[in-house]
Amino acid sequence: MTTSNQALRQWVEATATLTKPDRIHWCDGSDAEYGELVQLMLRRGDLLPLNAETYPDCYLHRSDPTDVARVEHLTFVCTPDRAEAGPNNHWLAPAEARTRMDGLFEGCMRGRTLYVIPYCMGPIESPYARCGVEITDSPYVVANMKLMTRMGRAALQRIEREGRFVRGLHSTGDLNPERRFIMHFPHELLIQSIGSGYGGNALLGKKCHALRIASWQARQEGWLAEHMLILELESPAGEKHYLAAAFPSACGKTNLAMLIPPASMPGWKVRTLGDDIAWLHFDAAGVLRAINPESGYFGVVPGTNAKTNRNAFEMIRHDTIFTNVGLNARNEPWWEDKDKEQPVTDWRGRPWTPGSGPAAHPNARFTVAAHQNASYSPLADDPAGVPISAIIFGGRRRELAPLVYQARDWRHGVLVGAAVASETTAAATGAVGVTRRDPMAMKPFCGYNFADYWGHWLSIDDGSRQLPKVFHVNWFRQGQDGRFLWPGFGDNLRVLRWIVDRCAGRVGARETPIGYLPQPTDLDQQGLALDPAVLDSLLAVDAVSWRREMQDIAAYFAEFGDRVPAGLLAEHRRVVAALG
């Protein structure tokens, strides 16, 4: 296989000249090709077979122990002007980055196969979808891309039709963290990544293309590329709403997207369109429509069980690649909070004994095709996408942020999104549990200056469009004793129900300086044994703490200097004044 697209052919040839692979393989995306890659990785020990009876066609990959998460400190946006990348990104001048990367790529594929992966982010026939080509020397990356994206022959045909694609060059290099870099060149629609095999660093269609490069393109073209799940909520009366929700990494997007309604809310249905990324475009009628550019899930495994996410728990029982989980005595994958059993081997392949720490790495992952999810919505394959009723922002906040509140209007919603903060998790290398600002949950993923990004969000309201309502939720409030105040998981549907009732204009709200909150009686509490005092504290707005929060937000905005849009600052002043 090769291609009629001359630019692609030349790029593959030039890359081969630089990296010197033993052979070149153009991926067709077939099941047979996936099967051959799996056999190759089993022979090489890159994959280990799991119990074929209880976990058919499931495999374990153990990564290099230094290569287990995204590396934000080694991820760069390389724009000619440093200010374009903004204080939210690490920056290198494009020429310097190219020289550094060329040095590292030189001869890096000797003895290896160079795989060419044409892929399409979004349904192949969708006008909102975009194509890319990833070159990699990692069969693990190819197999993951097969599960996560629409890749191979059909994507290549679209590239040949359109003549446009994002280029991504990846090599695992020598896996030395000293020689690990993930570079983005938005002006050239180019990504270069070396030294890591980990998902967000190596599956270039995901964070690198569908968020960093796409967010850049989206600003130029008037759409939004966001770190959001997409779900369909159907009421017992058959009314359907589509919601897009942005949460920082490992804050439960996958669980919310696959929510199973509590028994006390019969007739409600939740279907999953996406669990991580949404591309949002206005259609000709001014309606905001969402597609999920991915077609698989790369989810956090620890904590997944029949209670927290039965859909995920079941979908990863077959045809799944596990990365960095432990094993039990039956050679089944094992992770913390899976079940009452004990593991025998940890994620590094060492014998596990009580006291030897977690058996699975806290950022252990599953990779699985989306259609294996019992709650999968076929609309995820609809080229037209789905109309979005509400955008929801959320963070992991022990204190302060109430369970839910609604922004007054779009401009206030942009402030609410820009002010998202969350405690860090194991999805990225670095300290866990530190509160940091994570605007729109895009801190690690926005491919340009956040100040310009907020301006882009504000510009979405051009007066002629049907804008979704904007909300903020917080499932993670804790009491003095450190216990979570809200049960979360399926019970989050009670909050989603209030949100769609607000969208439909069916329920009132309490107006506060930070936005509209539900009256406790407005939340569906049927079957929820929650102490009324706890619900009161979940719905309280403490003016003193919020004044402090607004100061903190102002200090954060100040880091972006005079690029911060006046409209955002005016909105901030409005809320401060309302807080008195």
Q: Which residues bind Mn ion (CB under 5 A)?
A: 249, 276
Q: Are 439 and 450 in contact (CB under 8 A)?
A: yes
* DSSP string for residues in 133-181: EEEES-HHHHHHHHHHSEESHHHHHHHHHH---EEEEEE-TT--GGG-E
Give, as ranges, the residues between 559 and 578 that touch ligand OXD (CB under 6 A).
none
Select from ligand OXD, Mn ion, none the partner in contact with residue 549, using the beta carbon and a kind-dependent cut-off of 5 to 8 Å: none
Contacts of 91 (CB under 8 A, 6+ apart): 76, 77, 78, 79, 82, 85
Give 15 or 249: the residue with its C-beta nearer to ligand OXD. 249
Select from ligand OXD, Mn ion, none the partner in contact with residue 321, using the beta carbon and a kind-dependent cut-off of 5 to 8 Å: none
Binding of ligand OXD at residue 247 (CB under 6 A)? no
* Candidate residues 249, 255, 320, 331; the one interacting with ligand OXD per rule CB under 6 A: 249
* DSSP string for residues in 229-290: EEEEEE-TT--EEEEEEE--TTSSHHHHHT----TTSTT-EEEEEESS-EEEEE-TTSBEEE
Could you confirm whether 251 is annotated as catalytic?
yes
Query: Around Cβ 35, how many Cβ atoms within 10 Å?
Result: 12
Give 276 or 522: the residue with its C-beta nearer to Mn ion. 276
Give 276 or 491: the residue with its C-beta nearer to Mn ion. 276
CA distances from 191 to 167, 430, 490 (A): 6, 23, 38
Give 276 or 549: the residue with its C-beta nearer to ligand OXD. 276
Q: Are 222 and 129 in contact (CB under 8 A)?
A: no
Select from ligand OXD, Mn ion, none the partner in contact with residue 195, using the beta carbon and a kind-dependent cut-off of 5 to 8 Å: none
The Cα 423–Cα 441 span in angstroms is 11
Q: Report which residue type is found at 96.
A: E
Q: How many residues bind ligand OXD (CB under 6 A)?
A: 7
Binding of ligand OXD at residue 326 (CB under 6 A)? no
Q: Shortest distance, CB of residue 55 to ligand OXD, whole angstroms?
A: 22
* Candidate residues 34, 140, 268, 298; the one interacting with ligand OXD per rule CB under 6 A: 298
Give, as ranges, the residues between 22 and 81 that touch ligand OXD (CB under 6 A).
70
- The interface mask with ligand OXD, positions 265-284, x = CB under 6 A, is -----------x--------
Give 254 or 474: the residue with its C-beta nearer to ligand OXD. 254
Q: For Cα atoms 186, 192, 194, give the angle at the middle one, nearest 5 degrees.
A: 150
- The interface mask with ligand OXD, positions 407-436, x = CB under 6 A, is --------------------x---------
Terminal CA-CA length for the chain? 68
Give 200 or 252: the residue with its C-beta nearer to ligand OXD. 200
Give, as ranges, the residues between 338 and 377 that touch ligand OXD (CB under 6 A).
none
* Nearest of 148, 112, 108, 517 to residue 369 by alpha carbon: 148
Q: Shortest distance, CB of residue 445 to Mn ion, whole angstroms?
A: 8
* Nearest of 212, 210, 182, 209 to residue 196 by alpha carbon: 182
Query: Around Cβ 100, how many Cβ atoms within 10 Å?
Result: 17
Binding of ligand OXD at residue 199 (CB under 6 A)? yes
Tokens of 395: 């963070």
Binding of ligand OXD at residue 200 (CB under 6 A)? yes
Give 195 or 200: the residue with its C-beta nearer to ligand OXD. 200
Considering all CA atoms of the chain, what is the largest pairwise distance in Å, rounded to the nearest integer? Answer: 69
Handedness of CA 434, 436, 442, 448 (dihedral sign): negative
Select from ligand OXD, Mn ion, none the partner in contact with residue 200, using the beta carbon and a kind-dependent cut-off of 5 to 8 Å: ligand OXD
Q: Shortest distance, CB of residue 272 to ligand OXD, whole angstroms?
A: 15
Give 114 or 145: the residue with its C-beta nearer to ligand OXD. 145
Q: Shortest distance, CB of residue 248 to ligand OXD, whole angstroms?
A: 7
Q: Shortest distance, CB of residue 368 to ligand OXD, whole angstroms?
A: 13
Instruction: Determine which one of 58, 251, 446, 503 is catalytic.
Output: 251
Select from ligand OXD, Mn ion, none the partner in contact with residue 427, using the beta carbon and a kind-dependent cut-off of 5 to 8 Å: ligand OXD
Binding of ligand OXD at residue 439 (CB under 6 A)? no
The H or E element spanning position 119 is strand 113-121
Tokens of 340: 């009452």
* Strand 421-423 to 59-61 pairing: unpaired
Tokens of 384: 């037209």
Select from ligand OXD, Mn ion, none the partner in contact with residue 186, using the beta carbon and a kind-dependent cut-off of 5 to 8 Å: none
Q: Shortest distance, CB of residue 111 to ligand OXD, whole angstroms?
A: 30
Q: Shortest distance, CB of residue 312 to Mn ion, whole angstroms?
A: 15
Q: Shortest distance, CB of residue 312 to ligand OXD, whole angstroms?
A: 14
Q: Are 390 and 499 in contact (CB under 8 A)?
A: yes
Positions annotated as catalytic residues are: 251
- Which residues make up the interface to ligand OXD (CB under 6 A)? 70, 199-200, 249, 276, 298, 427
